[in-house]
Amino acid sequence: MAVYQVMVVDDSAFMRKIVSDLIEADSEFKVTATASNGKEAIQKAIDLKPDVITMDVEMPEMNGLDALKSIMKQSFVPVIMLSGINEQGMKETIMALEAGAFDFIRKPSIVHDQDIAQVGKALVERMRAAMDEIKRKADREASMKKRDEAQSKLLQQSQRVQVDSPLQDRKGALKKTIEPSQSGMRHGSGQVESFREKPKQPTVPQTKQNMGRLDKTLESLRDANKASTSTDKLAKPNKPTQNSKENRLSNISRLAEQETATASAEPSRDIAREITSHKGADGSFNKLVAIGCSTGGPRALKTLLEQLPGDLPAPVIIVQHMPPNFTRSLAQRLNTFSELHVVEAEEGMVLRKGTAYIAPGSFHVKVNKTADGKFTIKLTEEDPVNGHRPSVDTMFESLLPYTSLQRHLVLLTGMGSDGARMMKKLYEAGVTSTFAENEETCVVYGMPRSAVELQCVRHLLPLQEIAPKLVQAVK
Give the active site residues: 294, 321, 418
Angstrom distance (rounded) from CA 464 to CA 456: 21
What are the backbone angles phi and psi of residue 410, rounded to the nearest 5°?
A: -135, 130
Phi, psi of 312 (to 5 degrees): -55, 125
**The residue type at 50:** P
Give the phi and the psi of residue 367 in degrees, each rounded to 5.
-95, 125
Task: Classify residue 111 as left (phi > 0), alpha (psi -120 to 50) or beta.
Answer: alpha
Selection from 354, 406, 346, 419 nearest residue 378 by Cα: 346
DSSP state of 195: H
- Tell me whether strands 103-106 and 79-83 are parallel, antiparallel or unpaired: parallel
End-to-end CA distance of the chain, in Å?
Answer: 52
Inter-residue long-range contacts of 472-475, CB under 8 Å, 24+ positions, other chains counted: 473/408, 473/433, 474/287, 474/289, 474/312, 474/313, 474/314, 474/406, 474/408, 475/312, 475/313
Instruction: Give the CA radius of gyration of the chain.
Output: 33
CB 67 within 8 A of CB 57: no
